[in-house]
Chains A and B, each alone.
Chain A
Amino acid sequence: MPEQQVSVDVRALAQCLDDAWENRAPIAPLTESDGLTVEDAYAVQSAWTELRLGKGEGIVGRKIGLTSKGMQEQMGVDEPDYGSLWASRYFPAKGGRVELPTDTFVEPRLEGEIAFLIGRPLSGPSVTPQEVLAATEALAVAVEVVDSRVVDWRIKLADTIADNASYGGFVLGPWSRSLRQEDLRTLGMLIHHNGSTVVEGVGAAALGGPARAVAWLARKLHSFGVALAPGDFVLSGSLGRAVPANRGDIFVLEAHGQPPLTVAFG
């Protein structure tokens, strides 16, 4: 990241967030006391990631947040944000099922998304959705658990950016090459919560289409001198609303033409 004029103690805030992450003890919104700007917030996110990497954490990709019009309006912003996918919170599914340890999270919510497996380096100031698809090796249905180290999800834009864009963890369905040839904008997705359908989502809900969201990410990362690399996972944004998750909940995610993905909170 370029040298920036930063008005806050980036390392201290990163440490605060890490304590909250480790101890599952949420903190007050950073924006309430520290006058955090968006630029500061990405610097905090970066510092926190460095801190975690120092503790043996890995980065397996990126996640895009605030991709729906509704969320953007609610936050008073007109662009998405992003965070890193930390390896310690990647929960591989077996036979389309996975149990997540509820007490790992602070206040988890579940989202249904499309995940990209990046196959070619992807970077530049004008990356298009078509370039994203051409550089994509495969796609998968994904469950993202979003979580907040800020108490009661009382977040403004800079809070969620500093808080690794409210990353909690994720689960992937099987990678599919044929999904590359589907129109991802029209891909429908349902989330069932304890047997009831609670979300009816569609690809276009993520910034007009999942590939558009990934193109935004590639351009945004480029402005920080970072590129998407072969092997990166990218969670491209929620296709519907986020659903609060509690111990004992069972979620089943169904997407057109894909096997279902079951996530239980144990």
Chain B
Amino acid sequence: MRPEGEVGALLERVREARTERRVTRKGDVAVDLDDAYGVQAALGEGRELKGYKLGLLSPAKQQQMGVDAPIHGRVYPEMLLESPVSLGQFVQPRFEPELAAVLKDDVPPGATPGAALLAVGGVFLAIDLLDSIWEGYDFRITDVVADNASGGGFLLGEKLADLPVEGELRLYLDGELLAEGPLDVLGDPGEKLAWLAEEVGGLKAGQVVFLGSPVAAQAVRPGTLELHGPNGSVLIAKLEG
């Protein structure tokens, strides 16, 4: 047993694949979930933290991966993209329609779901451009956590909505409806933010939290992206090769 060595090996592997923008095979090193989060944190050392993304929100997905809670990844400034987006910067891009909450107040660990809701300054339409170094997205839970929960890049809408938000998201690429799903399957944002605050030792005012997608990740290709949401909100972007 060389836990230090195994964690170090995983860190090197993820860092290398990310830097060189290439896929790698599912890890054979065995680390626990805490160590995987340690790798994730180490990859972002010294960078400004803009927020988090949530993953594995549905119980079905969690069961499939052998966990009983969502996972989270970190969001750094350069991951917040503007149109046009070059898909060439990613290893294996996919995308999901989401909502993101932007905090106006801190959420300390131990905050109640209601307190977390009060800290939300507004929610926005969002696109989560996932990326993974693990070939074919074939990974164990610790692999994906170490690889920053498949964090690639994000787009954000510019029309604020106050919670609660009801309705559905519809994702189009080049005019073709790729996916649609109701927002209520995402559950209560307050509970998720409170859970996240507990996990990460508190959230800060100004941070953005991507709240997850009501539909499965979609294959992405260059084209015109439209995401339609509640109250006539829309996010439009050009995806380039």
| Cβ B160 vs Cβ A180 within 8 A | yes
B48 within 8 A of A: yes
Encode B114-157 as 1/0 by CB contact (under 8 A) with A: 00000011101000000000000000000000000000000010
B240 within 8 A of A: no
| Cβ A181 vs Cβ B159 within 8 A | yes
Looking at B13-21, B33-41, B99-107, B211-219, the stretch in contact with chain A turns out to be: B99-107
| Cβ A134 vs Cβ B48 within 8 A | no
| Cβ B159 vs Cβ A134 within 8 A | no
> Cα distance A55–B178 when bound, in Å?
63
Encode A122-140 as 1/0 by CB contact (under 8 A) with B: 1011111111011110000
| Cβ A121 vs Cβ B50 within 8 A | no
A241 within 8 A of B: no
| 9 A-B contact pairs sorted by A residue (CB < 8 Å) | A121-B205, A124-B206, A125-B77, A129-B158, A130-B208, A133-B160, A135-B206, A183-B158, A211-B158
* Complex: chain A residue closest to B234, CB-CB: A183
Selected contact of A131 from candidates B105, B162, B206, B231, CB within 8 Å = B206
B80 within 8 A of A: yes
Contacts A120-B121, A121-B205, A125-B77 hold; do A134 and B158 have CB atoms under 8 A apart? no
B162 to chain A, nearest CB (A): 6
| Cβ B158 vs Cβ A185 within 8 A | yes
> Cα distance A127–B124 when bound, in Å?
15
Q: Which residues of B contact A184 (CB under 8 A)?
A: 158
- Total inter-chain residue pairs, C-beta < 8 Å: 70
B161 within 8 A of A: yes
Q: Which residues of A contact B24 (CB under 8 A)?
A: none
> Cα distance A119–B119 when bound, in Å?
13
* Complex: chain B residue closest to A127, CB-CB: B206
| Cβ A124 vs Cβ B48 within 8 A | yes
Q: Which residues of B contact A3 (CB under 8 A)?
A: none
| Cβ B158 vs Cβ A181 within 8 A | no
| Cβ B105 vs Cβ A133 within 8 A | no
B233 within 8 A of A: yes
Q: Which residues of A contact B100 (CB under 8 A)?
A: 130
Contacts A126-B77, A135-B104 hold; do A183 and B156 have CB atoms under 8 A apart? no
| Cβ A128 vs Cβ B205 within 8 A | no
A209 within 8 A of B: yes
Q: Which residues of B contact A129 (CB under 8 A)?
A: 156, 158
> Cα distance A180–B158 when bound, in Å?
11
A182 within 8 A of B: yes
Leading 4 A-B pairs by shortest Cβ distance: A134-B121, A126-B77, A134-B102, A183-B159
Encode A87-129 as 1/0 by CB contact (under 8 A) with B: 0000000000000000000000000000000011110111111
